[in-house]
Structure 1
Amino acid sequence: MSRIAALTPATARGAAHEMLADLVGRHGQVGSMVSTMAHSPAVLGGYLQLSKAMKRAKLSRRVSEVVSIAIQTRQGCQLCQDAHIAAARTLGVTDAEIAAAREGTSPDPAVAAMIATGLAIYSNPTTITDAQVEELHAFGYSDREIVDVVGIVALNVLTGAFNLVAGLEPAPPSAPPP
């Protein structure tokens, strides 16, 4: 059950109204997270900017999605986890790879190393070692991709924590038509 009411362009005021009206005008509608974030134009603006920036990440979408699945499994945001699983499936990530990501690993050692780094950044970034960064380089990851995973983690912490505080949950599955 949502703890914070979603806003609409009609119910939002000031900067929140302008941001929501612009988003609805460009996209037709916005999801519950965005419309609830509008209570704080600072949070909504920060989310939109970071989300847009991370679309320019060099780290592949497949790797970003499995890192996100691993983080959201730990963080406990089912809404985010479901969204990242759906996105991963559209990229051809298999059910076995998704299950491994939920466990914090991957059948691919290079992807497993990036997931481990993402989880370390999430839980305790002081544990990142020179050897861990060297291992990522040995797997062919660039410095940019290693830095990108920090942004992926930050975006997941923001969205997952927001959804948990706001009480946003996945919509119940709809019943098939009779």
Structure 2
Amino acid sequence: MPRLTRLTPDTAVGASRDLLADLASRHGRLGDMVSTMAHSPSVLGGYLQLSRAMGRAKLDRGTSERISITVQARQGCGLCLEAHVSAARARGVDEEEIERARAGTSADPAIAAIITLALQIHREPTSITDEQIAALREHGHSDRAMADVVGVVALNVLTGAFNLLAGLTPGSDTGA
């Protein structure tokens, strides 16, 4: 059961009304998360900007979705987890790799290493070592890709924490 109410372009005020109206004109429907985020134009605007920026990330989308699955499996946002599992499948990630991502790993050593980095960024960034960064480079990960992992993790923390606060669960989202 949602804890916070959804807003629409008609019920939102100020910057939130403008953001929702723009989204509605471009997408037709508004998802529960963005409609609920509109209570804070700062949160909604920040989410939209970070989401757009991460769409231009250097990371392969299949890898990015695995990272998102890993983070959401730990954070506990079922709505986010379901969305990222679906996106991973759409990107051709097989069920075994999805299960590995839930467990925080991958059969591919390069992807496993970047997932480990994501977990550390999420839980304990002070544990990241110079040797680990060197190993990531040996796996072919660029500085940009490693930096992008921070953005993927941050976006997942934002959306997952917000959905948990708002009480948004799988099946509760009625729009895109």
Give runs of aligned pairs for residues 54-93 of structure 1, distance below 5 A. 54-93=54-93
Find the aligned partners of 2:73 and 2:127 in 1 and give their Cα distance.
20
Gaps of 5+ in 2: none
**Which letter maps to 1:52?**
R
Deviations 1:38-83, CA, capped at 9 Å, x for gaps: 0000000000000000011011101000000000000000000000
Name 2:134's counterpart in structure 1: 134
Secondary structure class of the residue paired with 1:111 = helix
Name 1:51's counterpart in structure 2: 51
How many residues matched? 172
Name 1:17's counterpart in structure 2: 17
Find the aligned partners of 2:5 and 2:135 in 1 and give their Cα distance.
45
**Which letter maps to 1:155?**
L
Name 2:34's counterpart in structure 1: 34
Q: Which runs of 4+ in 1 moved over 2 A?
A: none
Find the aligned partners of 2:134 and 2:32 in 1 and give their Cα distance.
40
Task: Note the C-alpha offset of 1:132.
Answer: 1.0
Task: Note the C-alpha offset of 1:149.
Answer: 0.3
Find the aligned partners of 1:29 and 1:133 in 2 and give their Cα distance.
42
Is residue 2:108 matched to residue 1:112? no
**Which letter maps to 1:30?**
L
Deviations 1:11-64, CA, capped at 9 Å, x for gaps: 111111111011101110111000000000000000000000001101110100
Name 1:169's counterpart in structure 2: 169
Task: Note the C-alpha offset of 1:104.
Answer: 0.4
Identity %: 62
Task: Note the C-alpha offset of 1:9.
Answer: 0.8
Give runs of aligned pairs for residues 148-167 of structure 1, distance below 5 A. 148-167=148-167
Is residue 2:125 matched to residue 1:125? yes
Q: Normalization by structure 1: what TM-score?
A: 0.95
**Which letter maps to 1:97?**
E
Name 1:176's counterpart in structure 2: none
Q: Normalization by structure 2: what TM-score?
A: 0.96
Gaps of 5+ in 1: 173-178
Task: Note the C-alpha offset of 1:151.
Answer: 0.4
Find the aligned partners of 2:92 and 2:156 in 1 and give their Cα distance.
21
Task: Note the C-alpha offset of 1:131.
Answer: 1.0
Secondary structure class of the residue paired with 2:33 = helix
**Cα RMSD, aligned residues only:** 0.7
**Which letter maps to 1:5?**
T
**Which letter maps to 2:128?**
I
